[in-house]
Structure 1
Amino acid sequence: MKTMKAAILTKQNTMEIQEIPIPECGDDEVLVKVMAVGVCGSDVHFFSEGHIGDDYVQYPHILGHEGAGIVEAVGKNVTKFQPGDHVAVEPGIACGFCPACKAGKYNLCEKMQFMSGPPVWGCLRQYLTIREDFCFQIPMDMSFERGSLVEPLSVAIHAVRQARVKPNDRVLIVGAGPIGLSCIAAVKDCGAGEVMICDTIPQRLEMARQFGARVFDVSKVPIQEQLADEIAADQIDVGMETAGIVSGFGTLIDCVKRGGSIVLVGCPSADTAPIPIGKLVTKELMVNGLFRYRNTYPYGIHLAASDVAPFDLMFTQSFPLADAQKAHEMARDDKANCMKIIIHPNE
């Protein structure tokens, strides 16, 4: 075969299934037959709005960066893989030479090529090529759906590291979407104590409960009121904002104990927000931003293969590539019933 099918984003809210050439495998690359792709919130923003902040889609474009599949072919310099291997694809290809890369923070690479981030094409196609060092073998008995989940789990692992979560820490997470649930799993796996999570969507809170978290519906009563006694007793060590809600930062400043830490995981819905600076200073809170992840995929594969959480519950809908537009419309319009939608390009 010389061509493959791909879901091409041709304009806002419009995808077309087109035949495009199968990419040639470079000397240091592997050709992957894509078996499962998770739909991320960033994909939905690019699909429906055409941009995230100042990052605008250049049409035609291919979305998708949570990918797993089967090695189809390898370049002549490749030593780690052979055809038939099952792999998870780390979608951010760093240059390796800029100051950030040399400092070991390759997720901040100045020349990062991130799949689905314009203008780099993503995973919603039957085949893709990727550098050998950004491809990771998964167990043959791991589902490709769990293989695709390694990407959001990597975000959660990086969040745990940024927040310096310690054994027995009590953690409060704002937002019970896919990243919030992934954070529950990562926090539990590192030995933290009680994990609490708040949201306004009952279906998501119920799933978070099944992941082992203590849940709070904040649609009517703020979390500060519901946790007033624990806040007063300095019992919340770490806060994680995963929903991208600007007020979530202020909420965590209120809730986290003096000397605690906060990590901002979600993509913010606004560039600026009112912040209680006085509390931030007098409580001496450590605050970290988070941008994707680095050096997380091996641990992410371990986590995805574990029983620390019922990960398969997250896969709420499944679509073939032909229905990629429907999948993104559902993710956009039905957040209450959609957790992680999976698209199967080779079904």
Structure 2
Amino acid sequence: MDTTAAVLRSSDGPLTLEKLHIDDLRPHEVLVRVVGSGICHTDLGVIAGHEPDQSPIVLGHEGSGIVEAVGSEVTTVAPGDHVVLSYNFCGECDNCVEHNVPMHCRKFLELNLVGARLDGSTALAHGGEPIRGHFFGQSSWAAHAVANEQNCVKVARNLPLELLGPLGCGIQTGAGAVLNTLQPEPGSSIVIFGVGSVGLAALLGAVAADCRTIIAVDIQQSRLEQATKLGATHTINSATEDVAARVRDITGGPGAQYSVDCIALPAVLRSALECLQSPGVCATVGFQGMSNEITIDQGHLLFGRILVGVIEGDAIPAEFVTRMIDLYQAGRFPFDELITTFPFERINDALEAAHRGEVTKAVLTFDTYSRETETETESAEQ
């Protein structure tokens, strides 16, 4: 079958909407008609820094949609199921099976960041030209995505499916850093550095965890104002204020018990450690490239402070996406307030808006392409 996808061919030009052919599914693959797909900082980073040998590729890794077909050995989802797509993992290595930490799958990089299957093949092609179509096991900037059984999370049909995609990555990353990694006690204090989409998701996680003191740090006043609306008890503009001093003032002297670094710039990470009391824990989720050297004062760690790196919110998607949805339905996790939607055909406008920080979380919607698919299906049945 054919589908429409946004193809990255060069970082110098816009993504192009192209008709692509989809090969037959392999035994554990799942064909999903995409209803919504988020734009993540990781996507923007690939566009800005991709090398010629990485393209052509279809990006997108925060997809949600409806299962249209399944491979011969798929047992956990079926056609018609509504699903959220998350990161891919092998399901066979020691971290996946014995330790139950699939976010640390031994083949995580190959399965998520290369854009191809492990054997180097791809399900997508344009006139015989292979197009990488397995970014994070989904490449969901397309009307249809070839996902895998293990990275599909089945969700209820009464939910706003077009908005759920970011639960599989960006929102999962921020909220999971708090709820899975830090696990703050009710009444505790936490500082969140960088309140874009990931930071605000962390803030929502802190509110859901019943933290008493929730401090948002950013250089953009508009983001700090949004953080206040979503539950921050205090805000600090790090462009004009001494963060560590202000945190000590807010907490009555000792500093915060927890912090989340969503930026990963050296100065920010140092500040996220300096603002902690002893003992205290900083979770870093920011990404500035695979090589990002930082220098920290070992004295900040010596007396019981902990710095921990977090990937994908330390989340097992099948469990944590469900948990976030339960909190959302209970009115305790309003992640939808972070989202601005764009029709898929305006993907380049959405990318610009995300790059300029004009929106918190851009999500592409596929209403036009859904109607086209339904029309084609009805014609085939007639």
Tell me if structure 2 keeps the 8 A contact 1:38–1:340.
yes
How does the TM-score come out when normalised to structure 1?
0.89
2:27 and 2:266 map into 1 onto residues whose CA distance is 45
Distance 1:273 1:76, change over 3 A: closer
1:13 and 1:342 map into 2 onto residues whose CA distance is 23
| Residue in 2 that maps onto 1:301 | 322
2:75 and 2:94 map into 1 onto residues whose CA distance is 28
Tell me if structure 2 keeps the 8 A contact 1:166–1:190.
yes
Deviation at 1:284, TM superposition (A): 1.5
SS of the residue 1:11 aligns to:
coil
Deviation at 1:227, TM superposition (A): 2.5
| Residue in 2 that maps onto 1:131 | 148
SS of the residue 2:153 aligns to:
strand
- Higher relative CO (Cα under 8 Å, sequence separation at least 6) belongs to 1
Note the alpha carbon deviations across 1:268-320, whole angstroms, 9 max, x for none.
36622231222221x3202111122331443323324332143222113x322
Deviation at 1:7, TM superposition (A): 0.3
SS of the residue 1:69 aligns to:
strand
Distance 1:191 1:117, change over 3 A: farther
1:271 aligns with 2:292: yes
Amino acid at match of 2:67: V
1:321 aligns with 2:327: no
2:61 and 2:231 map into 1 onto residues whose CA distance is 28
Percent identity, aligned pairs only, is 23
Tell me if structure 2 keeps the 8 A contact 1:47–1:328.
no
2:183 and 2:53 map into 1 onto residues whose CA distance is 35
Note the alpha carbon deviations across 1:128-161, whole angstroms, 9 max, x for none.
2222232111221211243112122321343122
Aligned residues: 337
SS of the residue 2:201 aligns to:
helix
2:228 and 2:12 map into 1 onto residues whose CA distance is 33
Q: What is the root-mean-square deviation of aligned Cα atoms in Å?
A: 2.2
Tell me if structure 2 keeps the 8 A contact 1:176–1:199.
yes
Amino acid at match of 1:44: L
1:183 and 1:93 map into 2 onto residues whose CA distance is 22
1:227 and 1:77 map into 2 onto residues whose CA distance is 54
Note the alpha carbon deviations across 1:16-58, whole angstroms, 9 max, x for none.
111111342333332110111110011111112226xxxx861
> Which of 222, 227, 231 is the equivalent residue of 1:203?
222
| Residue in 1 that maps onto 2:44 | 44
How does the TM-score come out when normalised to structure 2?
0.81
| Residue in 1 that maps onto 2:207 | 188
Note the alpha carbon deviations across 1:104-125, whole angstroms, 9 max, x for none.
2222222225456545431111
Distance 1:68 1:331, change over 3 A: same
Considering fraction of residues, name the structure with more helix.
Answer: 2
Instruction: Structure 1: state its 5+ residue gaps.
Output: none
Note the alpha carbon deviations across 1:168-225, whole angstroms, 9 max, x for none.
2211110101010111112222333221111011221121111101222222112123
Note the alpha carbon deviations across 1:55-84, whole angstroms, 9 max, x for none.
x86110111101100111223333333322
Instruction: Structure 2: state its 5+ residue gaps.
Output: 117-133, 369-382
1:272 and 1:158 map into 2 onto residues whose CA distance is 24
> Which of 41, 63, 66 is the equivalent residue of 1:67?
63
1:97 aligns with 2:92: yes
2:263 and 2:9 map into 1 onto residues whose CA distance is 28
> Which of 215, 220, 223 is the equivalent residue of 2:240?
220
| Residue in 2 that maps onto 1:246 | 266
